[in-house]
Structure 1
């Protein structure tokens, strides 16, 4: 989403958004020196909230809801998306309407921006803000079509409940070019789609590494080097286990991301996963008491993770985990190479040949399973 801020040094209203690698910012409008700072900051806050709610219609589309009957989740999401048409007229209205109820959160946010603009009371500022909001709405519509260029690029930092098949195919092509990941994967593709494609390539890397080393795929994942994030290994193990049982890549990845998004909203969808985690924690406590009778460990001291992903950024977090997993497979593959060492002068050449063998085998395995990507 776009975050708005006041540059006090230059007295300007700024709009800033992520590009996947770093942020970019533009000047929306120049402010006058007689405008109170608290009023301009209020405008920036209301604009940020409006952007957040509008982009939520992109990350949580009506199409991904289970039900669409009146007053269902899908119905409410569609109402929010339909509310886009009221935003610009609300900002440019010359009079304040009080006789009509404000139904959606998007409409409420638009009215809050309009009130902040009326307090500041300059038509030029209203024009500049309206122009910027129009560009923001156009960027969301562009992202919905699968085009993440220009201002719509901020979608590469968001986790979406319903990724585009075109985006998944684009991510798959980028990973074919470089299975270890590239900058384009983080700056041109929806991270949910990128995570689905990366899971496909990760499992291909796990499969050929298991064949090369004689290990079971789960052993390949478990032998990974220490992860910076304690729960990263859990997400990779879950994905490997499900795909090893024949599950399709999308059907494996999406529940992980959607569950994390629900938790970010303060909800738990289903209790089976939570019951599993609670039982595992109880078994851990019981074993600890058996092995160490004097230990002071009670259920209240256990921090129980509800998801293996970062709820604030589940898709980018999973994408990071999967690419790390592919690198881990390569290191394991390399470690189990032919023990007949080449002469020192040929070490680097032998390493490059082994790397190409790993990449070629991974590409062949990914191609052989291409029908299970979506």
Structure 2
């Protein structure tokens, strides 16, 4: 999301947003002379809150909810997404306290956030600032809409650091094309793609890499990543879980999106399947453990603060681990071929991935 700040010395309202390789910054508007520091900071805070509400509609689409029935989570998310159309009007003409100081407050987070920005502008009452903020809000709305379509250019690039409980097919296909060109991945996966979508593509290519190594080494699928970890330390637990889940699903998309969505729930203090966690804890508990010893319970393999990026990093690392392990087993033949083990690995993985392209979505 976009964060807003006030340059007190320069009397300017500033925006910053992430790009996947650092933050960008720009001046939104000069802060008018009649505006006190408190008013300027309040406006910056409300703009940040509105941006968070808008981008939450992207990361938590209604389509990812279990139900769309009235008053369900899916219904609420759709109401907030539909409120995009009223944002500009609410910024321009916000609900204000009546003569008794009473204020009508909306339960809709997007709608209310827009009213709060409008009230902060009303407190300053400067036409130039009002016009600049209106243009800023419109640009933020358009950035979210672009990200929803799978277009992460321009200001929508901030979606590359967000975890989404869903993935654009356009983004999945584009990330798959990058990996087809270079099965080892690269920075482009982290700087140009929604990380959930990139993780879908990376998981597909990891499965191909593991299959290639298995054919070259004779190792079982479950042995490949631990063996690669023995050569070079890598975070293989989440990739191993992906491979395990793929044994029961024909869709890489479904496996990845569900893993990311479950970790996003944990970030909100929720778990999707408490019984499964309780069973896992029971299995891990030693028979002779004292009843009064409370052991921490790991409820997700991913960092709940950034689950999609965490998973993408692990998957790309696991592909590299496969390449290292492949070198241990492949018969390179003559010296010239031995110098191009990486090329052999990529060619083999590319062929294997193409054979099973249908599992991607």
The TM-score with structure 1 as length reference comes to 0.89
Q: Deviations for 1:310-364, whole angstroms, at most 9, x for unmatched residues?
A: 1111111100000000000011111223397x6xxx5xx5444211110010001
C-alpha separation in 2, matches of 1:71 and 1:318: 32
Unaligned 5+ runs, structure 2:
none
Aligned counterparts, 1:36-55, within 5 A? 36-55=36-55
Please say if 1:121 is aligned against 2:121: no
Deviation at 1:7, TM superposition (A): 2.1
- Name the counterpart of 2:354: 367
What SS does the corresponding residue of 1:267 show, helix, strand or coil? coil
Aligned counterparts, 1:3-152, within 5 A? 3-93=3-93, 96=96, 102-152=106-156
- Name the counterpart of 1:171: 175
What SS does the corresponding residue of 1:53 show, helix, strand or coil? helix
Aligned counterparts, 1:138-287, within 5 A? 138-225=142-229, 232-244=235-247, 247-283=250-286, 286=287
- Name the counterpart of 1:310: 303
C-alpha separation in 1, matches of 2:200 and 2:177: 13
CA spacing shift, 1:334–1:267, aligned 2, 3 Å: same
Native 8 Å contact 2:94 2:119 kept in 1? no
C-alpha separation in 1, matches of 2:95 and 2:106: 16
Which stretch of structure 1 is more off in the superposition, 194-203 or 25-34?
25-34
C-alpha separation in 1, matches of 2:24 and 2:351: 39
Indicate which of 329, 344, 349 corresponds to 1:336: 329
What SS does the corresponding residue of 1:224 show, helix, strand or coil? helix
CA RMSD of aligned residues (A): 2.3
Which stretch of structure 1 is more off in the superposition, 34-43 or 329-338?
34-43
CA spacing shift, 1:261–1:95, aligned 2, 3 Å: closer
- Name the counterpart of 1:354: 341
C-alpha separation in 1, matches of 2:187 and 2:357: 23
C-alpha separation in 1, matches of 2:293 and 2:276: 18
Indicate which of 299, 307, 319 corresponds to 2:293: 299
C-alpha separation in 1, matches of 2:350 and 2:257: 23
Q: Deviations for 1:275-313, whole angstroms, at most 9, x for unmatched residues?
A: 233124313xx37x6xxxxxx99632x222210001111
What SS does the corresponding residue of 2:228 show, helix, strand or coil? coil
C-alpha separation in 2, matches of 1:169 and 1:123: 45
Native 8 Å contact 2:249 2:255 kept in 1? no
CA spacing shift, 1:354–1:297, aligned 2, 3 Å: farther
Native 8 Å contact 2:32 2:129 kept in 1? no
Which stretch of structure 1 is more off in the superposition, 105-114 or 28-37?
28-37
C-alpha separation in 1, matches of 2:89 and 2:249: 51
C-alpha separation in 1, matches of 2:250 and 2:358: 11
C-alpha separation in 2, matches of 1:94 and 1:240: 51
Q: Deviations for 1:84-129, whole angstroms, at most 9, x for unmatched residues?
A: 1221111112873768652301111111112222222212111111
Which stretch of structure 1 is more off in the superposition, 243-252 or 351-360?
243-252
C-alpha separation in 1, matches of 2:39 and 2:323: 55
Deviation at 1:260, TM superposition (A): 0.4
The TM-score with structure 2 as length reference comes to 0.92
CA spacing shift, 1:24–1:215, aligned 2, 3 Å: same
CA spacing shift, 1:37–1:166, aligned 2, 3 Å: same
Aligned residues: 356
C-alpha separation in 1, matches of 2:280 and 2:94: 56
- Name the counterpart of 1:293: none
What SS does the corresponding residue of 1:266 show, helix, strand or coil? coil
Native 8 Å contact 1:80 1:106 kept in 2? yes
C-alpha separation in 1, matches of 2:239 and 2:202: 11
